[in-house]
Structure formats: C-alpha cells, structure tokens
Amino acid sequence: MRVACCQMRCETGDHSGNLGRAAEAVSRAIAAEAELIVLPEAWASGFAMDELSACVEASPGALEAMIDATQGWGGTLVAGSLFTRSGGEVFNHATVLRGGKPIATYRKMHLFAGLGEDTALTAGSDLATFETLIGTAGLALCYDLRFPELFRRLQSRGVSLLVIPAQWPGPRIEHWRLLARARAVENLCYLIGVNVASLPEIDRLHGHSLVVEPWGDVLWEAGEGEELGIVDLRAEAIAEARDRLPALGDIRPDLLGS
C-alpha cells in the first residue's frame, strides 16, 4: 500500500492559505498514486484556542474542500483533524474519508494542558478504526502518543497500522521519535506520524513526520520544512515481525482494565 505523508505549513488563523496548501499536497499525493493520504492535526486553523469559534465555523468548508480534492480518487484520506462543536462542546475531531464520505471519526482523548486544550476542548472517549489495503488501522492524535494503553486497546481490535496526525513541538522531537518507535514495536505494526512543517518565525519548531515499520525501524523521516513523503508498506512485513516475535499472543487482557 502506498502512503503519502503531507507535512505542510500550518499558519494559525490563515484558513484559506492552509486549505490551499492542503489541497495542493493532496493533489500531489494522488498524482504519486498514493492509496492512503494523511494530513496533520489541526491543519486548517492551527491551535488558535482563543479563536475557537472561528476555527469551528471554518471546519465544514475545510472538510468539503478535501472531499472535492479527492473526487474521483479511489483511496483513503485521513483528513487530519479539525475543531467541531456538538451539544455546546468543542472537540479536536479527526475524519477519515473514502469516496467522498466519512468512514471513521475520532475525537482526541488526551488533551494537552500546555496549549490549553484541557480547558477549551472536551475529550473524546471512543476508539476509531478503519480498513486499509494492509489491514485494520487505528487512529490517534498527537499527545495521545504518550499513552500506551490507548494503543493496546486498539490492538485488541487487531490493528496492523497506527495513524497519528500531530502538531508535535520541536523541543520534544526526540520523544516523538522514541514514542513512535515504541508504539510500533509494542504492537508489531506500522506507524504513520504526520506532523506540521516548521515556520521560520516560530521558535516552537515542528516537522519530522515519520513512518515506522513493525520491527521499529524508521522507513522515512521528513526534515523540518514542507515535504511530501511517499512510502510503500507491505502487509508481509507485519506477518514477518509477528512470526519473529509472537508477543501479541502473550498480552494479558485482564491487566488492561476497561
């Protein structure tokens, strides 16, 4: 399965500019014959916690633009995440599109206090999976990566792939690499982490999107700027890793809790 990782520049509040950059990246990925395309977290608005109403209002148009950008394409788009409102609560909400329709949605479970997410947003509580050409994929967002119990719960659903849109900061980029490899090794599956590109005027650098294979090796890693990563994943690599070390069969479900 050919995967496209769209590490794009995301400027806080610049909805039209971000939308144009996303549409261009998706178009390039389709031209490269990608079968799964992944956008970053909060790609349309950035983390404008003081302008959440504007972010929420822009989200339907951003999602519609991605539906238009993938019209006639037979693959799957993980459309990063957008801010949505339901019942008066605002969520950091990821959507997976295929054939112009949502096939999975996920509300971020772990909210990062460092950006005020925990006070501005409501945490989700439901797992999200979807089917791909190499098996079931599990969805998470950025800060979720630090919480292995979420990924063990996803593994109970038989995931072969973890997909994590993010806005992970540069000062902790070594944690990003370490945790991404750990989650892949623990679950003997592929992991795709797509971060936003850095902005020269912001000290809190981003970048370093990556794809990790089931044995923990990094197949591809971006730099700090805008980049489209094209990586081919093999279903056989998952089976090979699990045959080599059949640790998943030794998981103790009774220790996982609810």
pLDDT per residue as tens digits for the range 200-239: 666 577 899 999 999 999 999 999 999 999 999 999 999 9
Residue-wise pLDDT tens digits, 84-127: 999 999 999 999 999 999 999 999 999 999 888 999 999 999 99
On the 0-12 / 13-18 / 19+ scale of CB atoms within 10 A, 125 is exposed
pLDDT at 215: 97
HEC readout, 124-168: CCCCCEEEECCEEEEECCHHHHHCHHHHHHHHCCCEEEEEEECCC
Rounded CA separation 248/245 (Å) = 8
Nearest to 9 by CA among 196, 194, 164: 196
Structure tokens that stand for 192 in this block: 């795709």
- What average pLDDT score do residues 143-155 get? 97
Domain ranges of the chain: 2-243
The CATH code for residues 2-243 is 3.60.110.10
The pTM (predicted TM-score) of the whole model is 0.96
Rounded CA separation 180/106 (Å) = 19
Handedness of CA 155, 135, 40, 50 (dihedral sign): negative
pLDDT at 79: 98
